[in-house]
Every structure is written in structure tokens, then in C-alpha cells.
A and B are shown apart, each in its own frame.
Chain A
Amino acid sequence: MEPNQEIESRIEEVLKAEKENKIPRMTKRDYIIAAVITVIALIGIIGGFFL
């Protein structure tokens, strides 16, 4: 297969997989957990000023 054809067919497959959610997405819950960890880390950094 020509390189460009190979890329094109792979892109199609990747987009199809995206629609079918074959690679599990970050959920809303995951984003919330990430945000909470970020805030905790930030509070810790600010706390460091008082040590």
C-alpha cells in the first residue's frame, strides 16, 4: 500500500474507533478527580510558603 493510502486508511479506522469508543474516553468523573488532585496540589504548594 502507498504511504498516503496507508495513512488515510488508518485515519479512517481511528476515526471509526473514536465513534465506537474503542479507546475508552476520560469521563466526567475522571476530569473531576483530576481537578480535585490539581487543587489539592495547589493548596499544598501555597501551604509551602508558610513552612
Chain B
Amino acid sequence: MSRKHDINKEIENEVYCGTLPVLPKERKYGFIDALLVLSGYCIATWSYTQGSYLATLVGFKQLLIGAFLAAIFMLMIYQLPVIMSARYGIDIWIWLRSVFGPAGNKVVTIIIILVNFPWYAVCCELFADSMENLLGLFGIQLFNGAHLILSLSCVIIGTIIALRGVSTITWTTRILVPLLLLVGVAVVIVGFTSVPMDVIWNYQPELAGDADKTVNYVLSIEANFAFVITLVGGMAEVPRLCKSEKSSYYAGVLGQGAAGSFFVVVGAVMAIAMQYVTGKMVDDPTLMMATLSAPILGLSSLLLVAFANIGTQAVGSYIYGVMLKSTFKKSSYKVLVLVLGLYVAVLCVWGKITEYFGSFLTIGACVYAPLAALLFVDFFLVRKQKIDLKSAYELEGHNAYRYSKGFNIVGIICLALGFGFTLLIFDPINVVIHNKILFMLTPTFASFLFTGVLYYLLCKIPGVRRYVRRDTYAGPDKKPFDRAKVPPRQNIILLPLMWLACRILTAPYKLKIDKKNMDGIKPPFLVFGSHNSFMDFYVTPLALKPYRANYISELEGFENFGEWIYRQVGCLGTRKFINDQSLIKNITRVIRRGDIMVIYPEARYANVGTNSHLTKANAKLAKMLKVPVVTLNMQGNYLQQPIWNLKERKGARLHAELKCVVTADEIGKLSVDEIFSRISKELTYDEYKYQLENKIVIDDEWRAEGLHYPLYRCRKCGKDFAMTTSGSKITCKYCGDSYEMDELGQLHSSSGEIIHIPDWYEWQRGFVHEECREGRYKLDIPVRIWALPNAVNFVDCGEGRFIHDCNGFSLEFDNYRTEKHETLKFPAKSMTSLHTEYDYRGKYGPCVTLSTYDDTFFIYPTDESRDVFNPTKIQFATEFLGGLYT
């Protein structure tokens, strides 16, 4: 087997094994091991460059604070998410797929390399400087261009070593770290013995006339933040090999914050000592030792530093080459290393990387700060320390992190804005401060905060949260919704905006509101509204204007739109068809504080634009609260967006009637039956009758599509679940009986018969009642179950068994709450109706829901049961068995 083949195989193996989750038994590193490895990585000759750069900005005491405390402060925060690497045995490049998407991750990897690789150009520059300086000490003057040749030779030798693969790199590292330590020790001894201690301790830089001491201190803190944060890329491989989360975390913190920072301070001491002795500040340990001790020591150190710089260049090319290879699997490792070498060579030819050291540090940090913020917020606050590993590894069938063609737009936008935010504060190229207040936080930390807060807030928006958290099944929030939480009054600041939004949304449908018997009626009062579609929530606030109101809302709305906004608009969360005593208490609170309480007593949208039967509990509630009762009968809302097809019909026209049906004087005198009778009478409606009488033309070609959900039984052959719809037609798939829906909402058979849709609907109900009376009604099917415990997320409960018969409902499934396979029973008499959906959120298909106090179970058919699962029929049976219909 050839050597070339060996290297390729080694690299392939390294890439493959380098991405696999490391099992607990395979972990190699305790705290000390990890600390040594990471310290080795953090110690490089560029530490001297950093030290001498800091010495140009601040005095020694401030330099010590910056080098140690600033580094540790930043590390304590941004290293915290590495516990995820330790927990799952993966490196951050795998995890970043959840933050940016697999394709986005590729882009971010390239950006990271672009901003990180100038470090290696610094090494090459240092190598060339060392050579030049030392030869100069021996009186050898080099020709023009020799510096470039020397730095390029460092690139070439480093690249050649990297191309030789894993074994050569392992040996290089073994020699490199002790060498660097040796150089460091020599520098410390020479530095501290060649100048008096107080010279170093009391050192203050000679600042230019216009230099601001405070600004320089902030710049030094910024340099330290940037220094530690930009090394994260190369350190990412180690935490997954640690045996505990704590050791991975503190090894990272102390590897850089103690060992790395120590060498930065050594670099500073060297620079200060050189300035004291020669009047010139240098960052070259070779020159320092040759000047401050003896040329022979300089010559020895030259060999050490030369190898150290070449070795660092080689190790860097290797680490980033492997990183690129794991991201771009089809590319050749050799080509990738050569591209990296070429990039460093270009930077060497440019020749100004040392001059712009501070600028390049900050530009690197401009990328790393938002990146670190995203990792921190994503892990702790958005994903709550859970990721879907199978999606992160892009295993077949696990696509939670595919997002938009492989890009997580939210993550990418936050990264870009975080980058831009830094530049708004500070121009690192020309060293110009644009915003002094934010600059005091340092550009890196300000960007970290900005990006973190931005990402967190964006993920609070329900739509964004659902987009980012497609992996909720991996670690769902199971805490039950707090139904007892006292509802706030409608937010007075949001109220005008809400009215404006309602006005805009109802405007196309020419809403007309009539008010009857409302003179002198002021809050508190109780409103019972008809319930046809989401449009009800836009019409009601306009009808009740100028007063504030609270609304009862199913928890599902909280999840869809977000709990905060739902509470601000005055919603009280509950679950449908349960005996919710907390809800009664909150309704009472709303009335007692003098507000309007709006209830939609049908608790479900009208299936075919006609009212459901109400229960007397509504009248009892009114009697108990002793406040006026107002009804709001809304017309046209169903026509505009019927539940069986949520596409909006532009031809619909809206009308609402707000009417006081029981005054404050009457409420004490009237019986429950009388109150109930008045409410029921005012909330009787028929949308198709309203359409016909008002000649409301709805001429959308697709106007009948979806009507087969409520009209499921063939009028001719009598088969259930027989109907299908297309365009403006509803047809039986068995006997072919067909009806055309006209523009006024009536159905026409081919024989000229005219059918009123609600009549067909109620005709079906009769058959279900008959099945129930005769004990024939039974549905026993496999289903797919999702639980909604709170306003945050759904929990996938997998497949289960759904049984509905004359005794009520049984739901057999793996209950995530108890982690047991169990059967929940819902007695027939405990529910007067059922929440149904025909196409949940326009994409999930038909479902029914069953609720306990802590969960709402959304029950969908499986492929096997799809043909016999019809929410309307289940609802008919529930209402009959629950006693709502007789």
C-alpha cells in the first residue's frame, strides 16, 4: 500500500471518527489531561505578539487584569455550552448544524477559517522576523524580499508537514508543546532577570498625545476577549473526549484563561524589558534573548522558535484541513490543505498582518462573538440543553435541521446582524469609535449581548420558535400550562393597535355593527358571542370599542401566537370540554375588576354556519356573576373562512349585532331558564340563509372544496365518508351523485333539486343518533397522537388506539407524562361536545381533541384509519352521548 494512500485513508478515518459521537467508555480525558491538551493548543508564538500589543496600550497592572480576568470572564461565559459536547460526545461543528442548518454550517465554517487563519500568517511573520533579526545580530544583512521568502518558507514547510498526515502531526505536536514551554520559561527567566522588577511592575506605555487612557484600557480588554474567543475553533475537538461536563468546561477556561494568558503576560514582560533596554518594543523572543542574554542563547532559541512556528503552522493546517474535510466530504484533504496554505501565503505577500494585528483580532471576534452568543442562547435558552442528534447527523428521515434548503435563516441573520452591530460600534481597520457608550462594553461583548438577546427574542415569536425548534420532540417542555394564572387586563398600549389591526382586517369585508339595547350598558358585563371563524376575534373588539375585554381562548391559540401576546390581548387560557374551576375563578376576577368577559359558548367554530346547542351552564354563570348579559351575533364570518376550507372568500360581507339581552336589573329576577332562553334565541344563526337573503355572491371557483368534511354521507347511496369535493362540486365517490354549489351557497343536484347545506348536515346527525340509540355506534382505530401540555410545544406521543363508543372515549397510548403505556378514559357524559379540526393549521389534516387538566391530545388518523376518521361524525356522537342533543 502506498504512502499517499495511507495518508488519505488516515484522513478519511480521522474525519469519520472525528465526527462520530464518542461513547462514555471511550472518553480519554479527565480535567488534568484536557487542561494540558488545551493549554498546549493555546500556547503559541502569537501569544508574544498579543503580549507586546497589549503593552503598547496599557500599563502592566491593567495588562495583568486584562490578560487574566478579561480572558477568564469571557471564557466562563462562552465556554459554558461546551458541556453539550461532553454530554453527547460531539464537537461543536456537528451541533452548529442545528443553529445554522447543514448548508449554513458550511458557510459559517468557511467564514471561521477566513477570520481564523491569519493567526498562522502571524506565525510565519514571526518566523521571518526571528530569522532576520538573528542574522542581523551576526552582521548578516539580507536582500530585499528575503523577509517574504522566509515567511513563505514557513508556510511551505508547515503545509508539507500537514500533508504528511496524522502520524507526522502527532509527532510534531509532541515536540512542539514542550519546545514552546521551554522558550516560555527561558523568556520569563531572561525577562525578569535582565531588568529590575519594579520597571516591569510600574510600566506605563508612552501614549500618543491624543490617546485616551480609558479607550486604551477598553481596547486591551477587547483584545483579550477577541484573543480567547477566536481560539474556540481549534479547541472544539477536545471537550467531547472529556469524562465529565465540569472537566470539559474548566479545562477550556483554564487552558486559555490561565496557561494561554500566562504566555501573553510573558510576551508583555519580554516587550517591556526590551523597551527598557533598547528603547524599542519587540515581539520576537529570539531577538530578546539574543539582546538581553547572549547571542548563543538567541541562536538556540532561534531553532526552538523556528520549529515552533513551523509546527504551529503545520498543526493549524491539519486541524482546519480536517474540519474542512468533514464539512466538504467530497473534497480532497490534500487540495484543502493546499488552499489553506495558499491563503496564508497571500496574507504573507500582503505583509501587513502584524501591523493590523489588533484589527484582525477584532474582525475575528466580530464573527466569533455572535457565534458564541448563538451557541450560548441556543443551548441554554432556546433548546434548553436538548438537541436532536439524529437530525444533527442528517440521518435519513430526521430533517429537523434542514430548515430552508439547509439554511437556518434565523441563525444566519442573527450572525450577520451581530457582525454588523460590532462594526456600528467600532471600525477595527481605522481604529475609529462610532459609539463610545457601547464601546465601553467592548465591541466583542456588546456584539455577544446584542446577538444573544436578538436570537432569544426572535425565538420567542411563535412562528420563529416553531421554525427554529423543529426538534422539540427531542426535548419538549412538558410543564403543564398554568390555568390558574391571573389574566392581565388588555394591554392599554396595545389596544389602539389592536383596534387598528381589526379595522384593517375587517375592512375588505365591509363590516357593519349594530348595537341594540346598549344605551347605558357599561362594563362590567358578560358577552356571549357566536363562533364561526378566527374573524370573530377581529369583529368582537370593534363591537366592544371603546372598552377593554378579556376572552376565553383554547390553549392551542396560545401555542400558535405566543403566550405573552395572547395574555396582553386579554386571553384566558383553558382546555375545551373540561370542568375548569380555575377558569371560573378567573372569569369572576375579570368581572369583579370591572371588565368585559367575552365567552364563545359553543366552544367550537360552526361546521356549516349554524349554531350549536348551548348548555344552561352559561346562564348559570351569568346568574352567578350578577352582571348584564350581552350577545354578539356575528354574520358572514363563517362565509368568509369556513372551518372546512380556510382560504378566505373575498366576496363575504360581515355584519354583527351587539345586543343587551339581560340588564343588571333583570339578572337577579330572571330564572336560569329565562336567561338561557334569551341567550339561545339571540345566538341562533344560519350563515347560508344570511348569504341568500343578502345575495352575497361568493364566486371562488374552489368554493366547495373541503365541504365533504362536514357533509360526509351520501344523500343517495347512504354511505358514510363517501363524499369528495373539487372546485364547486361535491360528489359521492361510490354512486357518483353530485351537487354543484352555487354562488349563493346553495347546492343543486343534476335533477334540479336545491339543497340547503345545514339541512344535509342535520340529516346526517339523525343517522348517528340512531346508531347510538341502537348501541351500534363504535369507532376503534389506530391514531397518531400529539399532546399539547402548555403554550410552548406539542409532544409527539406516537401511535395509539382511539375507541369511541356509547361509553365515551378511550385513548390507549404511551403517555409521555407517566412514561407508561396506558388508557385514558373520557366518559360519554363528561363531554357535551368535542373540538374538531378538518385541516389543522391548514397542513395537518383532520383531527379531534380530548383534554385532561394538564394535556390536550390532538388525535389524527393514521394512513390505515384515514378513510373512516371523520371529525363531524365523532362530534355528532359525542354531542348525543353527552346529552346536548336528544
A28 within 8 A of B: no
B879 within 8 A of A: no
Determine whether the beta carbon of B24 is less than 8 Å from that of A22.
Answer: yes
Give the distance in Å from the alpha carbon of A31 to the alpha carbon of B429 in the complex.
Answer: 38
Determine whether the beta carbon of B396 is less than 8 Å from that of A4.
Answer: yes
B70 nearest in chain A by CB position: A45
* Interfacial chain B residues near A17, Cβ < 8 Å: 23-24
Give the distance in Å from the alpha carbon of A49 to the alpha carbon of B61 in the complex.
Answer: 11
Determine whether the beta carbon of B77 is less than 8 Å from that of A38.
Answer: yes
* Chain B 214-273 interface residues, beta-carbon cutoff 8 Å to A: 214, 217, 221, 243-246, 249
Determine whether the beta carbon of B21 is less than 8 Å from that of A10.
Answer: yes
A14 nearest in chain B by CB position: B21
Determine whether the beta carbon of A41 is less than 8 Å from that of B87.
Answer: no
Interface SS of chain B: helix
Q: Knowing A11-B21, A14-B389, A23-B243 are in contact, say whether A38-B73 is a contact too (CB < 8 A).
A: yes
B303 within 8 A of A: no
Determine whether the beta carbon of B244 is less than 8 Å from that of A24.
Answer: yes
**Closest Cβ of chain A: how far from B26's Cβ, in Å?**
10
Determine whether the beta carbon of B88 is less than 8 Å from that of A14.
Answer: yes
* Chain B 54-79 interface residues, beta-carbon cutoff 8 Å to A: 59, 61-62, 65-66, 69-70, 72-73, 76-77
* Interfacial chain A residues near B66, Cβ < 8 Å: 45, 48
B390 within 8 A of A: yes
Determine whether the beta carbon of B73 is less than 8 Å from that of A11.
Answer: no
Determine whether the beta carbon of A23 is less than 8 Å from that of B395.
Answer: no
**Closest Cβ of chain A: how far from B161's Cβ, in Å?**
29
**Closest Cβ of chain A: how far from B491's Cβ, in Å?**
34
Determine whether the beta carbon of A18 is less than 8 Å from that of B87.
Answer: yes
Determine whether the beta carbon of A38 is less than 8 Å from that of B16.
Answer: no
Determine whether the beta carbon of B87 is less than 8 Å from that of A44.
Answer: no
Determine whether the beta carbon of B246 is less than 8 Å from that of A24.
Answer: yes
* Interfacial chain A residues near B83, Cβ < 8 Å: 25-26
Q: How many A-B residue pairs have CB under 8 A?
A: 88
* Interfacial chain A residues near B76, Cβ < 8 Å: 34, 37-38, 41
* Chain A 12-40 interface residues, beta-carbon cutoff 8 Å to B: 13-15, 17-18, 22-26, 30, 34, 37-38
B185 within 8 A of A: no
B298 within 8 A of A: no
Contacting A42 at CB < 8 Å: which of B73, B87, B214? B73
Determine whether the beta carbon of B27 is less than 8 Å from that of A23.
Answer: yes
Give the distance in Å from the alpha carbon of A47 to the alpha carbon of B23 in the complex.
Answer: 44
**Closest Cβ of chain B: how far from A34's Cβ, in Å?**
6
* Interfacial chain B residues near A10, Cβ < 8 Å: 20-21, 23, 89
* Interfacial chain B residues near A4, Cβ < 8 Å: 395-396
Determine whether the beta carbon of A51 is less than 8 Å from that of B62.
Answer: yes
B79 nearest in chain A by CB position: A34
Determine whether the beta carbon of B395 is less than 8 Å from that of A3.
Answer: no
A37 nearest in chain B by CB position: B76
B86 within 8 A of A: yes
Give the distance in Å from the alpha carbon of A30 to the alpha carbon of B243 in the complex.
Answer: 16
Determine whether the beta carbon of A48 is less than 8 Å from that of B24.
Answer: no
Give the distance in Å from the alpha carbon of A15 to the alpha carbon of B214 in the complex.
Answer: 50
B23 nearest in chain A by CB position: A13
* Interfacial chain B residues near A25, Cβ < 8 Å: 83, 87, 245
A22 nearest in chain B by CB position: B24
Give the distance in Å from the alpha carbon of A49 to the alpha carbon of B182 in the complex.
Answer: 34
A42 nearest in chain B by CB position: B73
* Interfacial chain B residues near A6, Cβ < 8 Å: 20
* Interfacial chain A residues near B217, Cβ < 8 Å: 48-49
Give the distance in Å from the alpha carbon of A41 to the alpha carbon of B337 in the complex.
Answer: 39
Determine whether the beta carbon of B61 is less than 8 Å from that of A51.
Answer: yes
Determine whether the beta carbon of B246 is less than 8 Å from that of A41.
Answer: no
B80 within 8 A of A: yes
* Interfacial chain A residues near B249, Cβ < 8 Å: 26, 34
Q: Knowing A8-B390, A13-B23 are in contact, say whether A45-B395 is a contact too (CB < 8 A).
A: no
**Closest Cβ of chain A: how far from B85's Cβ, in Å?**
10
**Closest Cβ of chain B: how far from A23's Cβ, in Å?**
6
B393 within 8 A of A: yes
A35 nearest in chain B by CB position: B76
Contacting B72 at CB < 8 Å: which of A15, A26, A30, A41? A41
B87-119: CB near A (< 8 Å → 1, else 0) gives 111000000000000000000000000000000
Contacting B395 at CB < 8 Å: which of A7, A44, A49? A7
Give the distance in Å from the alpha carbon of A4 to the alpha carbon of B88 in the complex.
Answer: 17
* Chain B 11-35 interface residues, beta-carbon cutoff 8 Å to A: 16, 20-21, 23-24, 27
* Interfacial chain A residues near B86, Cβ < 8 Å: 23
Contacting B24 at CB < 8 Å: which of A23, A41, A45? A23
Most buried by A among B66, B69, B89: B69
**Closest Cβ of chain A: how far from B264's Cβ, in Å?**
15
Determine whether the beta carbon of B393 is less than 8 Å from that of A23.
Answer: no
Give the distance in Å from the alpha carbon of A42 to the alpha carbon of B128 in the complex.
Answer: 38
Determine whether the beta carbon of A7 is less than 8 Å from that of B393.
Answer: yes
* Interfacial chain B residues near A49, Cβ < 8 Å: 214, 217
* Interfacial chain A residues near B23, Cβ < 8 Å: 10, 13-14, 17
Give the distance in Å from the alpha carbon of A11 to the alpha carbon of B388 in the complex.
Answer: 10
Give the distance in Å from the alpha carbon of A10 to the alpha carbon of B23 in the complex.
Answer: 7
Q: Knowing A14-B21, A34-B76 are in contact, say whether A23-B87 is a contact too (CB < 8 A).
A: yes
Interface of B with A (CB < 8 Å)?
16, 20-21, 23-24, 27, 59, 61-62, 65-66, 69-70, 72-73, 76-77, 80, 83, 86-89, 214, 217, 221, 243-246, 249, 389-390, 393, 395-396
Known: A8-B390, A23-B243. 8 other contacts (CB 8 A): A11-B393, A14-B21, A14-B88, A18-B87, A23-B245, A25-B87, A34-B76, A45-B73
- Ranked nearest first, the 3 interchain pairs of A and B with the lowest CB-CB distance are A41-B73, A44-B69, A48-B65
Enumerate 27 A-B pairs (CB-CB under 8 Å) in ascending A order.
A4-B395, A11-B389, A11-B390, A13-B21, A14-B24, A14-B88, A14-B89, A18-B88, A22-B24, A23-B24, A23-B86, A23-B243, A24-B245, A24-B246, A26-B83, A26-B245, A26-B246, A26-B249, A41-B69, A41-B72, A45-B65, A45-B221, A48-B69, A48-B221, A49-B214, A51-B59, A51-B65
Interface of A with B (CB < 8 Å)?
3-4, 6-8, 10-11, 13-15, 17-18, 22-26, 30, 34, 37-38, 41-42, 44-45, 47-49, 51
